[in-house]
Amino acid sequence: MAKKKASARDKARQIIRQAGGMVKTSDAIQSGIHPRTLYHLRDTGDLEQISRGIYRLTEIGTVSNPDLVVVATRIPNSVICLVSALSFHEITTQIPHKVSVAIPKDSKPPMIEYPPIQFYKFSEKPFQAGVEEHKIDGVTVKVFSAEKTLVDCFKFRNKIGMDVVLEALKLYKIRMNFDHKTILEYAKICRVDKIVRPYLEATI
């Protein structure tokens, strides 16, 4: 009997490894892992619960950015935006206390206990523009590009603060290849080109 249980645990570990070392409870069950096996792996320390219903194999080491990984896993149809995206691109000195997450305008924000999230609703074109996909610890995380993020920050300047926007623009110019044309294209999509243009001209 013990041998059968060990075999079930080995199989479960292998399934989770093939999924990148992280799994949702629902996906684990659909993959043939019995809930009892999943919870046993948790209780023995083989799995670490990083959020409600999300587990990772402890053998894969520390997750480099667990908050973004959890968001991408729990809310697949979302994009990391604003200050969280600035932080990801390393063009801010701000330390995000919540994960800034963009979702479609007509969608309902899901209830998530952890990490703390600030949702922002985007209309269709701004939501689809400038999305990059990055692999973080085997999980695909969608993040707005640096240029799109700068434009979004101008659009939401009253919520995040103009000082944050101007600092990000300054750091972007120092640390990245200044793409004036792309920023303006995104500004037109987000209907803030008249606001963004003078600041871009001042940086040239």
The string of DSSP letters for 98-159 reads: SEEEEEETTSPPP---SS-EEEEEE-HHHHHTTEEEEEETTEEEEEE-HHHHHHHHHHTHHH
**Where are the domain boundaries for CATH 1.10.10 in the chain?**
2-60
Q: What is the token pair recorded at 65?
A: 């950015």
Q: Is the dihedral of CA 160, 164, 170, 173 positive or negative?
A: negative
Rounded Cα gap, residues 72 and 153, in angstroms: 21
Give Cα 87 distance to the centre of its chain. 11
- The reply to whether CATH 3.30.460 applies to domain 66-203 is yes
pLDDT of res. 1: 42
Give percent above pLDDT 90 in the chain.
Answer: 50
Give 104-140 pLDDT, tens digit per residue. Answer: 999 988 888 778 899 999 999 999 999 999 988 778 9
Among residues 11, 97, 8, 111, the alpha carbon closest in space to that of 53 is found at 111
**Where are the domain boundaries for CATH 3.30.460 in the chain?**
66-203
CATH for 2-60? 1.10.10
Rounded Cα gap, residues 145 and 49, in angstroms: 30
Give 82-98 pLDDT, tens digit per residue. Answer: 999 999 999 999 988 89
pLDDT in tens, the chain (204 residues): 444 445 888 888 888 877 667 778 888 888 888 888 888 888 888 888 877 777 878 876 665 677 898 898 888 899 999 999 999 999 999 988 899 999 999 998 888 877 889 999 999 999 999 999 998 877 899 999 999 999 999 999 999 999 999 999 999 999 999 999 999 999 999 999 999 999 998 876
Q: Is the bond preceding residue 104 a cis peptide, omega within 30 degrees? A: no
